[in-house]
Amino acid sequence: MKGGPDRAKRPAREATGDRPDSLLFSSAFGDLGVDPSMLVPWEARAGDIGATALASSRGIELLQSLWSRDKYMGRLDAEAIGRLEQFFDFAAVAAARDIIRQDEYGNFMIVLLSGSIAVDRLQPWGEQMRMAEARPGDILGEMSLLDSGMRFAHCTTLSECEIGVLGAEALDHMMATDPELAASLVALLARKLSLRLRVVGARVSDRQNP
């Protein structure tokens, strides 16, 4: 993996003079009273699942190709997506690996660049429900990145996958050093998340009320 949390944290503090808003996302867990020991950052998950580093040049090339065809993320042009390279980690993950686990606290999101990932949710009544099978270009885990809440679902690789990872500290770094890019990215993530939650809500309602 690239330099991990220190890569993002130190430049952000130098650029902003330790302003509180430079740690908007990475400090949110403390504000919510979450024990830091409960947090599962990407560095820990990557080691747990045996993820291997992917060349950033390949990662950003795949990201540009996929997002250029996306209704929302396509609003970021190739130059803007290219600027994301310094903030993302890129990795290869084998099949049958749990990238995200339901109900844990995490501070990173995943962009699927190749392969397939199952998105499942264990319902309170015990049913395991397949919410979706993510396709290249899809984003997973952005809800916890943005609001510091528990993971909504369990995400497992169905095949060997290549992924891009954006963590909270890297997003704070982006906000400090490239605020226009950060604002555009967060706005687009929020729009896509809102749409997906509406679709998921309708699907769950249909399953409960046949």
Confidence of residue 95 (pLDDT cuts 50, 70, 90): very high
Task: Quickly state the pLDDT bin for 173 (edges 50, 70, 90).
Answer: very high
pLDDT higher than 60, residue 22:
no
- Give the per-residue pLDDT at 208: 61
Residue 26 confidence class, pLDDT cut points 50, 70, 90: confident
In what helix (H) or strand (E) does residue 6 lie, and over which residues does it extend?
helix 5-16
What domains are there in the chain, each with its CATH number? Answer: 5-204 (2.60.120.10)
Find the Cα–Cα–Cα–Cα dihedral 142, 47, 137, 151, rounded to 10°. -30
The overall average pLDDT reported for the chain is 84
43-58 residue pLDDT tens: 999 999 999 999 999 9
Of the candidates 43, 161, 141, 37, the one whose C-alpha atom is nearest the C-alpha of residue 93 is 161
- Measuring CA to CA, how many Å separate 19 from each of 53, 75, 87, 111? 32, 30, 20, 29
Query: For residue 134, what are the β-bridge partners?
Result: 117
